[in-house]
Structure 1
């Protein structure tokens, strides 16, 4: 049997296979509330050993995109319960990804009275979609003072506790793709001169304090972190390679000290081998690798030991029965890119599974 399909046990992670469904924004949470469409979507994909949900905001000011869910209200907690129930019935584990978009936001996507915030008032270059006015330039964020950062940390902790009440097995902090936690790591975006800016240690402080306080609240075995070293997505200016390397080596070492369940690496060719090796050498728990994997390349990474688990995004998006297709070596559905972020079930819960395709032949 291929390693992909074999059970995985390491620390507190006990999964039916080595495959993770990666987090993917789908913009179906009308009024930022989880709903029946979402419950169906995730249950359909419970062939994965672990599902990581789409990015979910810990607070109203973190809802940078239209129709992304939150986990800060009782109605949202109740809505997520149907999702976790369905996934557990399918025999999978599910972590909620906590995503605060920071400056990657537009005020039109936030509830009335809220403004995008950031580590500084540095405005991101680029545009973002809004339901009310179409494409718009990113809004200028309000720079968080230390009281504001304390509030952000508290929001993350409360959101993690809410996630456990909603039935999730844990939470993944989104420290990648140019959102708030990665903004704090980047010296060109985070130009602070207080305890949260300047040195690598200080720029890592926000992520580590959030991770530590959540670990204290719900248990370190229920916490993961997604990272994207060297990425320039969402107007993340590149900085000196050795400093990037040292940043992620330090962050991984400190996360190992906290004993969190996993680090989830958004892989790219820009990450040098020495950075991969540094993360592996200092972090003893689970490493998940994601981005551009096929069943064959994922199996090779598992066999080589460079990854403990492998994550797939688009493959699960278009193939609810992705695991069955791997086992049968069956062809995959193509992604309909026109319906990735639209409102409705089309291109969301209606991708065909193998049985339906065979009936069409």
Structure 2
């Protein structure tokens, strides 16, 4: 098998992708008033529609779920209509796009929360990390533990957000169960010290992530449902004493739901792949459908892992920022452009929609 097979179609759940290259979700903090996707967002995503699948930037399922300034939501009619412009633009270019749904849990700030309330979490444990609010990076706020009778409302918010995403024209949704956000917080004992049905054992700590995924799949179909996991990433101060047993169990249960894919951050998010011992092959063996591999991939490593059957699809993140036509560049072996770190978060077209495609950059 050669890297040529990375650029061949792949059947994922209810849709067929034009290739096996996935655009990973990338937070860009450019939503407009009401946390509606900006007018530029449609152009930004359409420029990258040659990806086999685009997974959108994470979008909060409620105001309570927001953790950063100017991130888009998917809980109001205006947000649905804003996202419709994005999906229409991507589909017009022949692309496929899923919406990533998140609730950040304790990774938030009171200035973003309804009525200035404390962020919520499985347990009242403040994490040493920062968020972006009021145009600055600041420490997150002290959280409060969710009451048992509040948890069903979180599940309902995910379900409604999934329905809204389909109304907005998305091909499916990805549940954000990674990177130290709410569902990951429940799954890992470094953040979850509950003693009720959602804490303690492997099974109890997996309960919320599985309930949410089951609710989303029931709402829009398992074939249009995926989930992102990061078993050993320390992102946002998260930790677990038993990641292998925890995620072996979670993935086996996700397989029973017959969802379209698992999207796995292999190692530390945006960092080393060998941050901690973990058998990712064990997750692969427990899941019958698509496996999207993420973290530190280049063309050579992706081709090698495809040949070895370690993954089906490969997610690239920041490379898509400066290279809107990343798929074509990889296919022909063209040079890859850098991106400007100063324009990653917030702002307008600069560093967002003004990166040229290869033909434009070379004058071809």
TM-score by length of 2: 0.94
When the two chains are superposed, the root-mean-square deviation of aligned CA atoms in Å is 1.6
* 8 Å CA contact retained: 1:123, 1:141: yes
SS of equivalent residue, structure 1 residue 20: strand
Q: How many angstroms does 1:113 deviate by?
A: 4.8
2:32 and 2:131 map into 1 onto residues whose CA distance is 18
Q: Alignment length, in residue pairs?
A: 356
Q: How many angstroms does 1:272 deviate by?
A: 6.8
Q: Tell me which residue corresponds to 2:266.
A: 267
1:168 and 1:192 map into 2 onto residues whose CA distance is 35
Q: Does 1:136 align with 2:138?
A: yes
1:127 and 1:10 map into 2 onto residues whose CA distance is 36
Q: Does 1:180 align with 2:182?
A: yes
SS of equivalent residue, structure 2 residue 314: strand
Give a deviation string over 1:42-96, Cα, whole Å, max 9, x none.
0000010100000100010111100100000000000000111111111121110
**Which of 41, 46, 64 is the aligned partner of 2:44?**
41
* 8 Å CA contact retained: 2:179, 2:236: yes
Q: Tell me which residue corresponds to 1:277.
A: 281
* 8 Å CA contact retained: 1:124, 1:138: yes
Q: Tell me which residue corresponds to 1:26.
A: 28
Q: Does 1:302 align with 2:332?
A: no
**Which of 188, 203, 206 is the aligned partner of 2:205?**
203
Q: How many angstroms does 1:109 deviate by?
A: 2.8
Which range is displaced more, 349-358 or 49-58?
349-358
Cα pair distance change 1:273/1:140, threshold 3 Å: closer
Q: Tell me which residue corresponds to 1:162.
A: 164
Q: How many angstroms does 1:127 deviate by?
A: 2.4
Q: How many angstroms does 1:17 deviate by?
A: 0.7
Q: Structure 1: which 5+ runs fail to align?
A: none
* 8 Å CA contact retained: 2:232, 2:276: no
TM-score by length of 1: 0.95
Q: Tell me which residue corresponds to 2:53.
A: 50
* 8 Å CA contact retained: 2:284, 2:311: no
2:346 and 2:170 map into 1 onto residues whose CA distance is 26
* 8 Å CA contact retained: 1:13, 1:261: no
Cα pair distance change 1:166/1:284, threshold 3 Å: same
